[in-house]
Structure 1
Amino acid sequence: MKTKIIVLIILFVQFTLYAQEIKFIETELSIPTASISIHGTLLNPTSNGKKPLVILIPGSGPTDRNGNNSAMKNNSLKFLAEALANNNIASYRFDKSVLSYTKEQKSKIDSITFNTFINETKTIIKYFKTSKKYSKIIVIGHSQGSLVGIIAAKNNADALISIAGAGRSIDQVLKEQIGKQAPFLIADTEKVLNELKKGNTVDEFNPMLVSLFNKSVQPFLISWIQYNPQEEIKKLAIPILIINGTKDIQVSTIDAEQLHRANPNSEIKIIENMNHIFKEIKGDVNENMASYNNPELPIIQELSIIITTFVNHLK
Structure 2
Amino acid sequence: MKIKKLIIALTLLSVASMWSQTESEVELSTDTGILNGSLVLPNEEGKVPVVLIVAGSGPTDRNGNNPMMTNNSLQLLATGLAENGIASLRFDKRGVAGSTSAMTKEEDLRFETYIDDVVSWGKKLKEDPRFSEIIILGHSEGSLIGMIAADRIEADKFISIAGVGRPAADILREQLSAQPPVVTAMTDPILDTLEMGNTVTNVNPMLNSLFRPSVQPYLISWFKYDPAEEIARLDCPVLILQGTTDIQVKLKDADLLSAANARAEKAVLEGMNHVLKNAPEDRGLNIQTYNDSTLPLAGDLMETIVSFIKN
| TM-score of the aligned structures, taking structure 2 as reference length | 0.91
**Match of residue 163, structure 1, among 156, 161, 164:** 161
**Match of residue 39, structure 1, among 36, 46, 60:** 36
Shift of the 16–236 alpha-carbon distance from structure 1 to 2, 3 Å rule, reads same
SS at match of 1:152: helix
**Match of residue 276, structure 2, among 272, 275, 278:** 278
SS at match of 1:154: helix
Counterpart residue type for residue 268 of structure 2:
I
Alpha-carbon deviation of 1:43? 0.4
Is 2:74 the counterpart of 1:61?
no
The corresponding residue for 1:264 is 262
Asked if structure 1 preserves the Cα contact closer than 8 Å seen for 2:106 and 2:214, the reply is no
Alpha-carbon deviation of 1:187? 2.7
The corresponding residue for 1:49 is 46
Asked if structure 1 preserves the Cα contact closer than 8 Å seen for 2:47 and 2:129, the reply is no
The corresponding residue for 2:5 is none
SS at match of 1:131: coil
Shift of the 277–173 alpha-carbon distance from structure 1 to 2, 3 Å rule, reads same
Alpha-carbon deviation of 1:132? 2.4
- In structure 1, the gaps of 5 or more residues are 1-12
Shift of the 30–182 alpha-carbon distance from structure 1 to 2, 3 Å rule, reads farther
Alpha-carbon deviation of 1:216? 1.6
CA distance in 2, matches of 1:242, 1:265: 11
SS at match of 2:30: coil
Is 2:183 the counterpart of 1:189?
no
The corresponding residue for 2:134 is 137
Counterpart residue type for residue 288 of structure 2:
A
**Which residues in structure 2 correspond to 1:157-236 (within 5 Å)?**
157-236=155-234
Alpha-carbon deviation of 1:305? 0.7
Render the CA deviation track for 1:106-153: whole Å, top value 9, x for unaligned: 863431210000011101000010112201100000011000001000
The corresponding residue for 2:68 is 71
CA distance in 2, matches of 1:241, 1:276: 17
Shift of the 173–28 alpha-carbon distance from structure 1 to 2, 3 Å rule, reads same
Counterpart residue type for residue 142 of structure 1:
H
Counterpart residue type for residue 93 of structure 1:
R
| TM-score of the aligned structures, taking structure 1 as reference length | 0.90
SS at match of 1:37: strand
Shift of the 206–92 alpha-carbon distance from structure 1 to 2, 3 Å rule, reads same
The corresponding residue for 2:124 is 127
The corresponding residue for 2:4 is none
Shift of the 81–106 alpha-carbon distance from structure 1 to 2, 3 Å rule, reads closer
CA distance in 1, matches of 2:278, 2:38: 25
Counterpart residue type for residue 235 of structure 1:
R
CA distance in 1, matches of 2:288, 2:195: 35
Shift of the 183–66 alpha-carbon distance from structure 1 to 2, 3 Å rule, reads farther
Shift of the 307–183 alpha-carbon distance from structure 1 to 2, 3 Å rule, reads farther
Counterpart residue type for residue 304 of structure 2:
I
Counterpart residue type for residue 217 of structure 1:
V
SS at match of 1:260: helix
CA RMSD of aligned residues (A): 2.0
Which stretch shifts more, 107-116 or 290-299?
A: 107-116
Alpha-carbon deviation of 1:155? 4.3
SS at match of 2:235: coil
Shift of the 250–36 alpha-carbon distance from structure 1 to 2, 3 Å rule, reads same
Asked if structure 2 preserves the Cα contact closer than 8 Å seen for 1:34 and 1:120, the reply is no
Shift of the 295–193 alpha-carbon distance from structure 1 to 2, 3 Å rule, reads same
Of the two, which has the highest radius of gyration? 1
Matched residues, number: 300
